[in-house]
Structure 1
């Protein structure tokens, strides 16, 4: 009996370790039809958070913060938002950007979680993006942990322009990394996924298209648009979202957020919440007195941060 209990306890510990080590469990991700899948072709949902802009909240770009988000928040993926605007952005100061990005990626690899390298821009900058992602693919392409998000939120660009951009950037990535997932943005702040559904990219493997929502602003119409795109064969990844208004501030709509998450879970869509930062706005998850590294006690986690952490603990068992 004692031997049986020991075996059961060992199995429970192994399963729990796998649940908290998603890259060990899932391995090399792939896209099959509309679904993100593990290396064996089984459906996978990644759930996690995005760090704020690297050039505004660099203090959270450290190895221990990543460890906290994995161990305490049960994130299976984190997103590093490498800013292309405002002071000290990547284009103006690439050395500093890499000083922020490198420990995040290295820690994600060590912690066995996935990490999205996000070109956090609102404007097309094709040559700069090609150079950046070429470098990232050369450096990190051998790691199954890495996901490339090639354009955070297009604003004024047409889908025709974005297809051309994506074709060039993905082609550059695929010179050095033939397998890792690439996330492609769609027009109008990643909301016009219906345009993608009518005319998707051709000739590439393991690509998905991003939808961003802020639940207090974006409701049933965008959920229906997203579900319609999936029904038409489009693989969708929610690479940024919030329970607040689209401004990132204002009221928190927990009910609408729950509807969004339920839809994602039903359709097998991965989701990420914005953001680990200490800005004075509703969708910033931490207070300014929170440490840079964590662990973060409840008294330094804001209302929205507690909501997100609760969802992650609920779904990332």
Structure 2
């Protein structure tokens, strides 16, 4: 009996201990996420870190917006989060010209993430979202009404602002979209884009959103381009008291070109882990470029299987296990 009780205690303890492998840290373990100071925490108030993979623009890579891809991202890329970038307006179309078709792609990824017990970032993916505020409010109103009761959902209201003023343009934009989300979903995490392609987190830290809870600020980096200077900027934002979420990063250059910068990638991962910051690798495509995680010709059924990974993909997967 004493042995049995000890075994039960060990099993219970093992189930409560955090694993460094994101595959072992699903939604069913952590539940609804929230922000405590600068930290992302689970429903028990314990620090939690998400690690995973981002899809690419929905208009150009729809073949990966499905359950097979999400299953591969979870099981073979060892992820507890997937990011779904909704293309808004491109030369080839997007949500503004095909709202039903593009919305269905996002819904398919959300449904697959819920089924596979991982978190999903719903990303309004453009650089001039402030000119489409009405459409963004409507989109996030619909998504939050349909899925706001699920702990899996994370909202990303503006992918990469460029030169827009944080205080005069971006902050009011985010506040309007957040208001629409919170009317339906009072609690799930919201990530807001920051100036300079989501690098100038210090500007947001100087004038943060103060009347809402569970808000984090986007930080994007590409290791070959963004080095210690950006980590210093991000550290200053943390020191000022805002939470950061790296919802897009690459191991290569900012233009997605090779080579992989392994040394800088390691420095970034070490800093992120030290500060308990979540991170999502860009991207799940089979395009012949440095940032792609998949070799050309990879289908959804083979996403993240080892023999189909590029150098960048292999490194991201190995990091997701650590």
TM-score (norm 1): 0.93
Post-superposition shift, 1:4? Answer: 7.9
2:31: which partner in 1? 27
Which residue in 2 is equivalent to 1:139?
146
Tell me the CA shift for residue 15 of structure 1: 6.4
Match of residue 79 from structure 2: 75
The answer to whether 1:46 aligns with 2:53 is no
Deviations, residues 184-238 of structure 1 (Å, cap 9, x unaligned): 1111101111111111112001000001000000000000110110011011000
Q: 1:42 to 1:282 in 2, by over 3 A?
A: same
What SS does the corresponding residue of 2:300 show, helix, strand or coil? coil
Structure 2 stretches lacking a partner, 5+ long: none
The Cα of 1:155 is off from its aligned counterpart by 0.9
Please point out which of 99, 102, 120 is paired with 1:115: 120
Partner of 2:162: 155
Aligned match of 2:199 in 185, 188, 191?
191
Q: Paired residue for 1:55, among 59, 62, 67?
A: 59
What residue number does 2:247 align with? 239
Where does residue 89 of structure 1 map in the other structure?
A: 94
Q: For residue 299 of structure 1, report the CA deviation from its aligned partner.
A: 3.0
Which deviations, in whole Å up to 9, do the C-alpha atoms of 1:280-309 show, x marking residues without a partner? 210011122212122544332111111111
Over 3 Å counting, the alpha-carbon distance change for 1:183 and 1:302 in structure 2 is same
Measured in 2, the distance between the counterparts of 1:83 and 1:47 equals 23
Cross-structure match for 1:170? 178
Verify the 8 A CA contact 1:59 1:292 in the aligned structure 2. Answer: yes
Partner of 2:228: 220
| Partner SS, residue 269 of structure 1 | coil
Please say if residues 302 and 308 of structure 2, whose CA atoms lie closer than 8 Å, have aligned partners that are also in contact.
Answer: no
- The number of equivalent residue pairs is 314
* 1:128 equivalent in alignment to 2:130: no
Matched position secondary structure for 1:194 = helix
Q: Does 1:271 align with 2:276?
A: no
**Alpha-carbon distance, 1:9 to partner:** 8.8
CA distance in 2, matches of 1:85, 1:178: 29
| CA distance, structure 1, for counterparts of residue 180 and residue 135 of structure 2 | 12
* 1:98 alignment partner in structure 2: 103
| Root mean square deviation of aligned Cα | 2.1
Gaps of 5+ in 1: none
Contact 1:215 1:244 in 2 (8 A): yes
1:20/1:70 contact within 8 Å kept? no
Deviation at 1:69, TM superposition (A): 1.2
Contact kept? 2:76, 2:306, Cα under 8 Å: no
Residue 107 (structure 1) shift: 1.2
Task: Give me the whole-angstrom Cα distance separating, in 2, the residues matched to 1:311 and 1:218.
Answer: 19
Cα separation, 2, equivalents of 1:85 and 1:256 = 33
Shift of 1:85: 2.7
Judge conservation of contact 1:60–1:293 (CA < 8 Å) in 2. no
Q: Is the 8 A contact 2:55 2:282 kept in 1?
A: yes
| Distance across 2 between alignment mates of 1:118 and 1:129 | 10
| Cα distance in 2, alignment partners of residues 288 and 217 from structure 1 | 24
